[in-house]
Each structure stands twice: as structure tokens, then as C-alpha cells.
């Protein structure tokens, strides 16, 4: 059976499916034996006590660090957990229907979801979300998260299959040798896509209803270039794809040999190939792949995967670890970019907005929590002092800047944070401050903003969806989110040209930086600094060595005369095949 989705990370892998979901419970469960019922009830009660302790500690910590209003959500969750009817129903299903605790929790959640799914009452909808959060916490304690449900080792390699891959799930992926990812939801810029590209493993997102057709242990093939998933393939199909898998791995190994070679074009122009990272492990991968530094450290993953809320000391420790692991100890740290598809309950972000991507998120949310934001700025500045002592450099990047007023506000907050650290006896060196260009208003008025920043990073993922007025995670309109759309190229050229004319360093840190076709265009626009998933660095370095600046300019000038996205893609595909035919395997269709 073949299913199609969105190709998000190239390559081919033949392996074994391992299915997970949000509550880490199997879709079917065997009945408990008489002797297992008492122990299952005890396991459930023990999990309840542990989760109650977690929630109580979270409430105190968030109240202290963020505020009592934000901490109230955990009091609500604790009250749900302690609700007598909640516990009695779960225990009744365990005792009378011999259901494992995870399965009973799933049933409870499904009943409430079905009951309220048609209501227009926002309060009731939020209560279902609160119940879901509690069930997830309980299930995580009850089950061996991300381990096979039958407790038997599965044939390698494992291919993760999920509805979507959440950061809280992704943080424990290191325990498994995951060689491929398939999700029902998501897009080319979803968590699953970003994680897959950072690890250099094939992935396909947006495969509708695949969890209905596949079970843990099934043979499966993932073609991350074509966006196809083959379930229970026959012997002939398996043999054909194993050949493609070997060819892809051979190409990856050959490209990785250039890790110590400088990144230069075919006519000797030096380039900066930086890495986008989420963690210390990603920083080590960037070093291994020959990156010249970290162009984007997404700090929100520290918050999304933390069991509570990381305090200033914990943040500093994490930032120092990233500095130590990063190439040349050079790191651009982006402040918290929560909101949209990335939520944390203790900041009040819980999908309440009709259009969260264009609402209360990112820098806007940080401004609403100035003490919380100031703690992060102090931690980053302290990390900058740490890096300077070791011969490195930390830069601070502020996301989703819309206007000059916001730049002035963050600069004022940085000045106050420096004074706070000076009072503690820590002198911070001059730390470059930059803005992300994601909002079209900032891109259009770039010339008025440049005098007030030290560098610019273009966040093409969000910039594209805002320019095209299309939610990149909505399958009905995601086809509009094309980085090679003529309108997107015009805006990118405008921003890059303005930065070059003002001698302001500019990097593109969106996912398009690592796509060979897009790289040819960006190089022709004058861009010389690219930040991408670590796994892309070797292939882009290889491509750069085969193209000259005059070639890239000619490609860009011809592409800008084309009127449709399809024509741009076909033209670039043809030129890429002429310049580096072997790298076509590293592209996604």
C-alpha cells in the first residue's frame, strides 16, 4: 500500500514502523488478568501521586518566576487530577473491564472529547484541552515513553509514525535509533520536519490517516524526496528501494568527507555555512558536519522540553553547554519564539486564538512578561561573557520584529539587563543585537530599521506564510507557502540588497537556506551567509564549490523574469542538474 504526503527531508529508508501518539498509549490493549488488576490499580495511583507533586511544584515555580495568573493553569490541572469522578471512572474500567490504565485514560479522554467537540462554548473546549494535558502527563508516567508497547525489541531501523511529533516527545528520541519519520499532520516547517532535517533522516509529513493503516512492527519504506510511504511492501519493491537507500547513504558519506574543507564558491569567494540548532546535541552535529558556527539557536525548545519552567541559572547552564559544543564557540541565540504551533501553558499560550500565527506570540508575548523576558536576556548576556573568555562570540537575535518601536524596546531591556549583571559583578562584552525579518512590514521598511541593529537574520519560514497569507500547517493552503514564489524572491532580494548597501551582516536562517535550488538563487542575490540544518551543510558546501558568482547571478536574473512558482522551480531544477546532477537526490520534490 502506498500513501503520499509532503516530502520534508530527503533520502530513502527501509525499516520497521513504530507508532506513537500524544498520550503514548497503544490503540488496542489486551485485557488484564485477575492477578494484574491490583498491581495496575497501584500503578495508576502511584502515577497520580507523582503527577500531583509535579503540578504542585510547577504551580509554585511558575507563580514565583512568571506570575500567579499564569500559574493558575496548573492549579486547574491538579483539581482535575484530584476529581473523584475522574479517578472513579478510570479505576472502574481497570477493575471491572480489565483495561490497562493507559487505555482507560484514553477512553475517558475520547468520551469527553466526543461530548464537547460540537459545542461552541469556549470554556468547555478549554476544559477538554486541560483534561488532555492531565491525561498526557499521567500516561507518560504509566508507559515507557517511546519504547515498544510489547516491550520486545523491534527489527532495526525504526521508522517513527505519529499523528504529529511534539517537542516533548522529540526530546527522548535519542533513546531510539530512529532512521525515518512519518506524520499525519505537519508541513515542511513543522517540528517533525525540522528534527528530521537536523538529523539528516528521511521524513514525510501530512500523510492523511496513515495510523489507520499501519501498526507497530509493520515493514515500511519512506522516500523523503518523493513524499511517498509504502506500507508492507512486497519483496520486489523492497529490493528496489534498498538499492536507492544504499545510493543515498553512499552519497551522504561522500559529501561528509568535505567537513574540513573551507566553504568557498567555484571562483574562490568565501561563504559562511552556519547551523540551525535546537540543542547541545545539534551543536555537536554542526561541529561534525563542518559548520563555521551556529546561526540560529532556537531557545524555545529548552522551554518546550523542560519539565517545568527553566530558571535563569538553568538557562545559562544550557547556553554555556551549547557554546562549548558549537563550532568556533560562535552562537547566535534567538530569544523565546513561543506561540503559533509552539505552546507552553505557563505563559497562557493554549491555542485560544483564532489565528495564533498572527497573534500573541514570539516577541509580543515576551513583552507581556517583562520579568520573564529579562531573565532570558540576562542568561544570554552571561553566556556571551562566558563565550568571550573562551575566544568565542554570542549574538542575540530577536524574533518577529515588526517596527522600530520594538527594536528600541528590546535595546532598552538589554541595557537594563547589562546593568543588573554589572551590579552582580559580571562585565559583559559588547554583544551584537539583531532582528529577524519575518514580518512583511519589517521587510518593506528594512532601510529604516537597519541603523538600529548590528545584524539581520531572515526567517524565511514565517516570512513566506505571511507574504502569501497562508498558514503553512493548513493542508488546504500550504501549497501556497512556496519559498520560490516570485513574490517571495522579490522581497528577499529587497532585504538582502538593503543589508549589503548598508554593510549590515545578513544571514538567511530559514529552511530554504539548505535547499540546493534556493541556494543558487540566494547566492545570485548577493547572500554570503547561510544557516541551515546541520545535515545540509556538506551538500551545500559541495554545491558552492561547483558554481561561480557570475553563474549564480545569471541564474538569479533569469529566474526573476519568470512569472510563476512552477516555472521557477523547473528552471532551477534544470540548472541544478547541469551543475551538480548527483545532488538531485538531496532535493525534495
Give tens-digit pLDDT for 289-309.
Answer: 999 999 999 998 787 766 667
Nearest-angstrom CA–CA distance, 388 and 427? 11
Give tens-digit pLDDT for 80-135.
Answer: 888 888 889 899 999 988 888 888 888 888 888 777 766 666 666 667 767 877 88
Q: Is 49 a catalytic residue?
A: no
pLDDT of residue 366: 83
All three cell numbers of 283, joined, read 551543536
Other Cβ atoms within 10 Å of 467 Cβ, number: 22
Long-range contacts of 347-353 (CB under 8 A, 24+ apart): 347/66, 347/70, 347/372, 348/69, 348/70, 348/73, 350/73, 350/126, 350/129, 351/129, 352/122, 352/126
Q: Do domains 2-20+148-252 and 257-583 have the same CATH topology?
A: no
* Closest to 546 in 3D by CA, of 335, 164, 255, 173: 255
pLDDT of residue 213: 87
Q: Spelled out in words, what is the top-level CATH class assigned to the domain 2-20+148-252?
A: alpha beta
Q: Name the pairing type of β-strands 272-277 and 294-298.
A: parallel
Catalytic residue among 77, 141, 149, 191: 191
Query: 51 and 137 in contact (C-beta within 8 Å)?
Result: yes
Q: Name the pairing type of β-strands 228-231 and 219-223.
A: antiparallel
Q: Name the pairing type of β-strands 455-458 and 506-508.
A: parallel
pLDDT of residue 506: 98
CATH 1.10.274.10 for domain 34-142, yes or no, is yes
Q: Is 481 a catalytic residue?
A: no
Nearest-angstrom CA–CA distance, 143 and 23? 9
Largest Cα–Cα distance in the chain? 77
pLDDT of residue 414: 96
Catalytic residue among 19, 102, 481, 509: 509
* Closest to 507 in 3D by CA, of 495, 516, 518: 495
Query: 449 and 531 in contact (C-beta within 8 Å)?
Result: no
All three cell numbers of 278, joined, read 535546537
Where are the chain's structural domains? 2-20+148-252, 34-142, 257-583
For the four alpha carbons of 304, 306, 312 and 315, in that order, the dihedral sign comes to negative
**For residue 529, which phi and psi values (nearest 5 degrees)?**
-130, 125
Cβ-Cβ contacts under 8 Å for 252 (sequence gap 6 or more) = 11, 200, 538
pTM for the full model?
A: 0.77
pLDDT of residue 438: 95
Long-range contacts of 118-124 (CB under 8 A, 24+ apart): 122/352
Q: Helix, strand, coil proportions of the chain in percent (round to 5)? A: 55, 15, 30
Strand arrangement, sheet containing 158-162: 2-4, 228-231, 219-223, 12-19, 158-162, 178-183, 203-205, 6-9
Could you list the pLDDT tens digit for every one of the 589 residues in the chain? Answer: 899 998 888 889 999 998 876 444 444 456 888 888 998 999 899 889 888 888 887 777 767 666 676 567 777 888 888 888 888 989 999 998 888 888 888 888 888 877 776 666 666 666 776 787 788 788 877 865 444 444 456 777 889 898 877 655 554 455 567 889 998 877 776 667 777 877 788 999 889 888 888 888 899 999 998 899 999 999 999 999 999 999 888 888 888 888 889 999 999 999 999 999 988 988 998 999 999 999 999 998 787 766 667 889 999 999 999 999 999 999 999 998 876 555 555 555 444 555 666 665 778 888 888 888 899 999 999 999 999 999 999 999 999 999 999 999 999 999 999 999 999 999 999 999 999 999 999 999 999 999 999 999 999 989 998 999 887 767 677 778 889 999 999 999 999 999 999 999 999 998 899 999 999 999 999 999 999 988 889 999 999 999 999 999 999 999 999 999 999 999 999 999 999 988 877 777 6
Q: What b/e string do you get for 533-564 counting C-beta neighbours within 10 Å, with b at 16 or more?
A: bbbbbbbbbbbbbebbbebbeebbeebeebee
Q: Spelled out in words, what is the top-level CATH class assigned to the domain 257-583?
A: alpha beta
DSSP reduced 3-state for 505 = coil
Amino acid at each position: 500500500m502506498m500513501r503520499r504526503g509532503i516530502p520534508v527531508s530527503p533520502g530513502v529508508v527501509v525499516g520497521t514502523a513504530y507508532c506513537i501518539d500524544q498520550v503514548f498509549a497503544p490503540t488496542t490493549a489486551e485485557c488484564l488478568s485477575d492477578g494484574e488488576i491490583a498491581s495496575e490499580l497501584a500503578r495508576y495511583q502511584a502515577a497520580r501521586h507523582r503527577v500531583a507533586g509535579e503540578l504542585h511544584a510547577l504551580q509554585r515555580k511558575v507563580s514565583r518566576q512568571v506570575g500567579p495568573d499564569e500559574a493558575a493553569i496548573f492549579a486547574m490541572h491538579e483539581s482535575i487530577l484530584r476529581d473523584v469522578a475522574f479517578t472513579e471512572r478510570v479505576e472502574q474500567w481497570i477493575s471491572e473491564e480489565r483495561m490497562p490504565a493507559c487505555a482507560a485514560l484514553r477512553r475517558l479522554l475520547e468520551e469527553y472529547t466526543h461530548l464537547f467537540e460540537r459545542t461552541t462554548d469556549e470554556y468547555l473546549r478549554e476544559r477538554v484541552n486541560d483534561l488532555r494535558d492531565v491525561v498526557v502527563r499521567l500516561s507518560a508516567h504509566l508507559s515507557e515513553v517511546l519504547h515498544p508497547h510489547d516491550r520486545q525489541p523491534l527489527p532495526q531501523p525504526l521508522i517513527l509514525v505519529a499523528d504529529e511529533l511534539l517537542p516533548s516527545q522529540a526530546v527522548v528520541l535519542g533513546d531510539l535509533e530512529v532512521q525515518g519519520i512519518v506524520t499525519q499532520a505537519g508541513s515542511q516547517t513543522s517540528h517533525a520536519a525540522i528534527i528530521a532535517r537536523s538529523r539528516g533522516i528521511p521524513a514525510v509529513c501530512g500523510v492523511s490517516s496513515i495510523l489507520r493503516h499501519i501498526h507497530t512492527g509493520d515493514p515500511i519504506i519512506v522516500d523523503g524526496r518523493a513524499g511517498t510511504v509504502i506500507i508492507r511492501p512486497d519483496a520486489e519493491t523492497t529490493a528496489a528501494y534498498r538499492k536507492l537507500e544504499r545510493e543515498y547513504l553512499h552519497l551522504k558519506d561522500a559529501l561528509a568527507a568535505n567537513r574540513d574543507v573551507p566553504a568557498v564558491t567555484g571562483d574562490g569567494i568565501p561563504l559562511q555555512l552556519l547551523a540551525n540548532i535546537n540543542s547541545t546535541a545539534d551543536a555537536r552535529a554542526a561541529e561534525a558536519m563542518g559548520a563555521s558556527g551556529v546561526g540560529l539557536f532556537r531557545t524555545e525548545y529548552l522551554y518546550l522540553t523542560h519539565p517545568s519552567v527553566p530558571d535563569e541559572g538553568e538557562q545559562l547552564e544550557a547556553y554555556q553547554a551549547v557554546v562549548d559544543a558549537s563550532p568556533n564557540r560562535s552562537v547566535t541565540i534567538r530569544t523565546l519564539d513561543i506561540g503559533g504551533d509552539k505552546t507552553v501553558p505557563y505563559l497562557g499560550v493554549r491555542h485560544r486564538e483564532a489565528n495564533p500565527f498572527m497573534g500573541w506570540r514570539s516577541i509580543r508575548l515576551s513583552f507581556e512578561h517583562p520579568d520573564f523576558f529579562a531573565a532570558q536576556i540576562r542568561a544570554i548576556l552571561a553566556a556571551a561573557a562566558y563565550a568571550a573568555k573562551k575566544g568565542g562570540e554570542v549574538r542575540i537575535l530577536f524574533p518577529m520584529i515588526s517596527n522600530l518601536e520594538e527594536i528600541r524596546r528590546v535595546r532598552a531591556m538589554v541595557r537594563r539587563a547589562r546593568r543588573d549583571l554589572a551590579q552582580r559583578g559580571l562585565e559583559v562584552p559588547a554583544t551584537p543585537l539583531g532582528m529577524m525579518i519575518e514580518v512583511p512590514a519589517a521587510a518593506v521598511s528594512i532601510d529604516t530599521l537597519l541603523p538600529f541593529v548590528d545584524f539581520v537574520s531572515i526567517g524565511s519560514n514565517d516570512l513566506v506564510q505571511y507574504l502569501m497569507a497562508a498558514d503553512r500547517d493548513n493542508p488546504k493552503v500550504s501549497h501556497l507557502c512556496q519559498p520560490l514564489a516570485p513574490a517571495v524572491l522579490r522581497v528577499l532580494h529587497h532585504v538582502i540588497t538593503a543589508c549589503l548597501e548598508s554593510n549590515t551582516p545578513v544571514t538567511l536562517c530559514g529552511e530554504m537556506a539548505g535547499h540546493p535550488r534556493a541556494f543558487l538563487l540566494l547566492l545570485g542575490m548577493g547572500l554570503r551567509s547561510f544557516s541551515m540544518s546541520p545535515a545540509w551543510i556538506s551538500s551545500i558546501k559541495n554545491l558552492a564549490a561547483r558554481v561561480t558568482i557570475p553563474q549564480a547571478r545569471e541564474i538569479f536574473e533569469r529566474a526573476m523574469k519568470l512569472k510563476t512558482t512552477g516555472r521557477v522551480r523547473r528552471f532551477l531544477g534544470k540548472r541544478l542538474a547541469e551543475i551538480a546532477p548527483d545532488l538531485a537526490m538531496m532535493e525534495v520534490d
